[in-house]
C-alpha cells in the first residue's frame, strides 16, 4: 500500500462519520518510541506513554472508536472511527458505506486553509476551519496530552515530541479497510522499507 504524498482533500468535513487512517511522526523523525527487533516492536517508556494516551482517546469523545494501531520507532499508525456524526454511523461489523474519494491528507498546521463539505452545505457554514473539525481536535488533544506526560517523566518541559503535521487517509470501503489493517499489522515486519520512516 503506497501511503505517501498526495493533495489535501478539499471540500470535505473531517467531522463526518467514517474511518480514518492516521499517521503521526515524531519530531524530526527521531527514533524515540522504542526499537524493532526480529520484526517486533519493543516499546520504551516513551512508547508506552504514547500507547496509553492513544487508547484513552475514546474517554474524551463519545462518538470515537479505535481500530488497529501500531507504534513504530519514529511514528504511529492507527485507524479512528467517527460514529454518530453528520452522516449515518458505520455498521458495527465495520462494513462501511462507499466514500466519494480516497485521499491522503497532509495537515501542515492548525492554521490550514478553511474547508467545507459540499455534501452537507445546508447544515454547516460555508467555510469550516479545519482546526475546528473533530479529527483535528482528536489528534491535537492526543499530541498535547502525550507530550505533556512524556516531558513530565523525562523532565524535559517544552521539548518537542511530535512533528507539526499529521497524515490522514479517508477509508472508502471495506476492501480499503482490510488493506489498511493489514498494512498496520505488518508494519514492524516492513520497517526497513517503511515509507513513513523517512517522511519529511
pLDDT at 90: 38
Q: Is residue 12 part of a domain?
A: no
Residue 103 bridge partners (DSSP): 170
User: Which residue in this structure is represented by grid cell 465495520?
Assistant: 94
pLDDT at 86: 46
CB atoms closer than 10 angstroms to residue 130: 21
Cell of 27: 519530531
State the residue range of the domain holding 77: 18-186
pLDDT at 130: 62
Q: Is residue 125 part of a domain?
A: yes
Contact assessment for residue 135 and residue 168, using Cβ atoms and an 8 Å cutoff: yes
List Cα–Cα distances, 167 to 49, 79, 92, 164, in angstroms: 21, 12, 25, 10
Start-end of H helices in 18-161? 45-55, 57-60, 134-154
What is the CATH number for 141? 3.30.70.1290
pLDDT at 82: 95
User: Which residue in this structure is represented by grid cell 474517554?
Assistant: 59
Q: Is residue 130 part of a domain?
A: yes
Q: Is residue 200 part of a domain?
A: no
Q: Is residue 13 part of a domain?
A: no
Would you write out the chain's pLDDT as a tens digit for each of its 200 residues? Answer: 444 433 346 667 888 899 999 999 999 999 999 999 999 999 999 999 999 999 999 999 989 999 999 999 999 999 999 997 544 333 433 444 443 333 444 443 333 333 333 333 333 443 446 667 899 999 999 999 999 999 998 888 889 999 988 999 999 999 999 999 999 999 999 998 877 665 44
CB atoms closer than 10 angstroms to residue 12: 22
Contact assessment for residue 20 and residue 57, using Cβ atoms and an 8 Å cutoff: no
pLDDT at 197: 63
- The domain tally of the chain equals 1
pLDDT at 103: 42
Q: Is residue 5 part of a domain?
A: no
pLDDT at 113: 35
Amino acid at each position: 500500500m503506497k501511503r505517501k504524498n498526495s493533495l489535501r482533500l478539499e471540500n470535505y468535513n473531517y467531522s463526518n462519520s467514517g474511518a480514518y487512517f492516521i499517521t503521526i511522526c515524531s519530531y524530526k523523525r527521531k527514533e524515540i518510541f522504542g526499537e524493532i527487533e526480529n520484526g517486533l516492536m519493543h516499546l520504551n517508556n516513551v512508547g508506552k506513554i504514547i500507547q496509553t494516551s492513544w487508547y484513552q482517546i475514546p474517554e474524551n469523545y463519545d462518538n470515537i472508536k479505535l481500530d488497529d494501531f501500531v507504534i513504530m520507532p519514529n511514528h504511529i499508525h492507527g485507524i479512528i472511527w467517527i460514529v454518530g456524526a453528520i452522516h449515518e454511523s458505520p455498521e458495527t461489523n465495520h462494513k462501511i458505506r462507499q466514500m466519494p474519494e480516497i485521499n491522503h491528507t497532509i495537515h501542515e498546521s492548525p492554521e490550514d486553509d478553511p474547508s467545507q463539505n459540499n455534501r452537507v452545505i445546508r447544515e454547516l457554514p460555508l467555510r469550516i476551519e479545519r482546526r475546528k473539525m473533530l479529527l483535528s481536535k482528536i489528534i491535537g488533544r492526543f499530541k498535547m496530552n502525550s507530550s505533556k506526560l512524556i516531558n513530565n517523566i523525562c523532565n524535559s518541559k517544552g521539548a518537542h515530541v511530535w512533528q507539526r503535521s499529521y497524515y490522514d487517509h479517508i477509508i472508502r470501503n471495506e476492501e480499503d479497510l482490510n488493506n489498511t489493517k493489514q498494512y498496520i499489522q505488518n508494519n514492524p515486519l516492513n520497517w526497513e522499507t517503511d515509507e513513513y520512516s523517512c517522511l519529511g
